[in-house]
Each structure stands twice: as C-alpha cells, then as structure tokens.
Amino acid sequence: EAQVTQNPRYLITVTGKKLTVTCSQNMNHEYMSWYRQDPGLGLRQIYYSMNVEVTDKGDVPEGYKVSRKEKRNFPLILESPSPNQTSLYFCASSLLTGIYSTEAFFGQGTRLTVV
Amino acid sequence: QKEVEQNSGPLSVPEGAIASLNCTYSDRGSQSFFWYRQYSGKSPELIMFIYSNGDKEDGRFTAQLNKASQYVSLLIRDSQPSDSATYLCAVRVGGSNYKLTFGKGTLLTVNP
C-alpha cells in the first residue's frame, strides 16, 4: 500500500530536549516536505526536499532541521524545542516536481506538545 | 507576500444542495491550483487540481478557475453529510520556487 508514515503520532516533550520526527514513504517519490498546522494559521511549509541531499527552506524554517540522506526518509529535527513549536506536523510526498505537481500524499500527522 | 484567502466558514448547506467554496489568490504568476479535503483530526487529501481557466469536473466535484479575477472555486453537487470537512485551497506559483501556499481552509457542514 502506498503510504507516508510518520512517527511518533503523538509526542509530549520538554523545552530544550532534542527530538526527531521520522517520515518515510514507500513510493520512490523524489519530492518530500514538512508542514505544521496551527489553528487560524493553516498549513505552513517548514522545509522541502527535491531529491536526496537537496533540501530548502519553506515559510517557517526557524528552529527546525532536516536531512535527506535516502530517498525514502525525510526526518524533521528539533534541536531545542520550544513551546511555540507545539503544533500538528505533517510530512508529504510527491512523485513529480515542477509547477504542476503538488503534495499528493500526506502522512497521518504528529501532534507535538512542548511544555 | 503570496496570499491565498478563503472564507473560514462554517459554510452550512442541507443534504442534496450544492456547496460552493471559494478561494482568491494574490500572485498573478500562480499557475496551478489544488483543492484538498481534511476531515477533523486527519491529514489533507488531494481531491481536485486545475491548471487552465474554466471548469473541470470529477464526479460530484467541479473546480472552476478564473485567472483574470484571481479566484478558484470548488462546487460540490448533491452534498452528503460525509462531505462535512475542511476544504483547503492551495496555489503554486511559477518559476523555480516549488513552494505550495495553502489557504486556511473553509469548514463545510452538510446537514441531513
């Protein structure tokens, strides 16, 4: 089954404790991205990756890091989480890149709470 | 600042009616347009895309694009309670920037 898998689904952590949210897709997609979704603010892109070792900032990259060492995986790293990073996070992927492509598949979401 | 605007709703329609969801965008360089459906607590699901002016139909869904007026809409015919969800409009601008900008979504409620 084609899917994007995020882990964990729920996470409560403390300020400053480094964490990683994993994202894996089994569709051999080149394009992957991370979003956060907050009430009243909608979906905002954090980082995206066009292919292995190719990443770029989205609209809200501050406080986040990503890496793309393998095509299937695109982890999101919070080196020193803060309460304003409490949010619902989605990973997405797409086979195509370019103007007519879009985020075709979304993961199940990770609800992160930073206390 | 690229913006995609949607009425947050809620938009309430009776079962069997036509639901009309609207989206406006600010960047005239926008070239591709997408509609997602998101059920409460779930991830967004791509339901329609449109690239050219005019209408595009897929089952009960019709996407309409008017680039001159910078709006895109989604019509849902014969609305069902199962259509109750938040509908997100997304727009991609031309050029080397591959970022996709989402609107904040419109909550649709279909009443039995």
What does the alpha-carbon distance between residue A92 and residue A83 come to, in Å, rounded to a whole number? 24
pLDDT digits (tens, 9 = 90+) for B42-84: 999 999 999 999 999 999 999 999 999 999 999 999 999 999 9
What does the alpha-carbon distance between residue A62 and residue A75 come to, in Å, rounded to a whole number? 16
Question: At residue A88, what is the residue type?
Answer: L
What does the alpha-carbon distance between residue A49 and residue A103 come to, in Å, rounded to a whole number? 12
Confidence of residue B1 (pLDDT cuts 50, 70, 90): low
Question: In this predicted model, which residue has the larger pLDDT, B30 or A97?
Answer: B30
Chain B residues closer than 8 Å to A100 by CB: 31-32, 49, 51, 92
Confidence of residue A8 (pLDDT cuts 50, 70, 90): very high
pLDDT digits (tens, 9 = 90+) for A24-39: 999 999 999 999 999 9
- Is the predicted pLDDT of residue B14 greater than 70, yes or no? yes
How close A13 gets to chain B, by Cα (Å)?
A: 21
Q: Is A106 within 8 Å of B44 when comparing Cβ atoms?
A: yes
Task: Give the CA angle between residues A73, A55, A3 to the nearest 5°.
Answer: 30
| Interval A80-84 mean pLDDT | 98
Question: At residue A10, what is the residue type?
Answer: Y
Buried b (16+ CB within 10 A) or exposed e, A50-60: beeeebeebeb
Q: Is B61 exposed, middle or buried (0-12, 13-18, 19+ CB in 10 A)?
A: middle
